[in-house]
Amino acid sequence: MVTFIPFGEKPNREGVLYTLELLKRNKLIDDYVIVESSRVDLLAERIPVDRAYVVGEHLATYGIVEKLKAISLLSLDAHTDLMHDYLDHGSWLAYALENRHVYRAVVLAPVLMIPTTDRTELWTKRVKIFPALLRSRKTRGKWRAYKNLQTTPLEEIMKDAKKYLGDEIYLSVDMDVLRPEYKIARFQHGELTLEELLNLLEEIKRRFKIMAFDIAEVSDRVKRSRLGKKAILEVFSLLMG
């Protein structure tokens, strides 16, 4: 079964419901359920334990992992979602880690590393970050580069992620990880092409047991995007296969 969660503002809700019709039209689903909620704190009690979720605002993933109690999570995202001032789509992973809904996490392919809100810090406990591009951080007074997709072999990154996360993961794929021309998400996009994203997902499938996954940050922009429709169909097909 596939659970559709039209969570968030109107563009996100409409994007999820459109994706449902898109997947039905292409005969990729037949058994599904729609779960609605205006509050993230109610999601865990409403959603079923499922293999696949399609969600609007990425904050909904917080409710999913609260339900599933995933030990390890791998997030493919243009953003780290590790801000820590209040719970929203930019901080859900930090709060999931803090509240022990997830015990350890890897964020793969972000381009936005540092929170932009005032008086907040990047949550760094029990999480490893592998940016899409070359990024540095200050450690013990010295600037050191993160291992990243631009300069580090993918095999090395996957080996490190597997060593940290273990064999089984919950996988969250934020579609804003793709470049702007795919026109799926509402806000800042990432640096990956669809081919690069599919290659990453193939490697993740090969190396990990995926207990469940979600496809997140789907908006109504996808209705008018040929590339966006293609991306959703191919990502969903690969993960369900």
What CATH number is attached to the domain comprising 76?
3.40.800.10
**Count of helices and strands (H, E) across the chain:** 7, 10
Confidence of residue 141 (pLDDT cuts 50, 70, 90): low
Closest CA relative to residue 91, chosen from 142, 57, 45: 57
For the chain, what's the residue count? 241
pLDDT single digits (tens) 155-168: 999 999 999 999 99
* Angle 164-89-179 from CA coordinates, rounded to 5°: 80
pLDDT single digits (tens) 41-87: 999 999 999 999 999 999 999 999 999 999 999 999 999 999 888 89
Quote the CA–CA distance of 127 and 138 in Å, as a whole number.
16
Q: How far is CA 214 from the centre of its chain?
A: 7
Q: Give alpha helix (H) positions in the chain.
A: 10-25, 43-46, 60-68, 92-98, 154-165, 194-207, 226-240
- Quote the pTM value: 0.94
28 within 8 A of 44, measured Cβ to Cβ: no
For the residues 23-28, what does the mean pLDDT come to? 97
What's the domain count of the chain?
1
Structural domain containing residue 157: 2-240
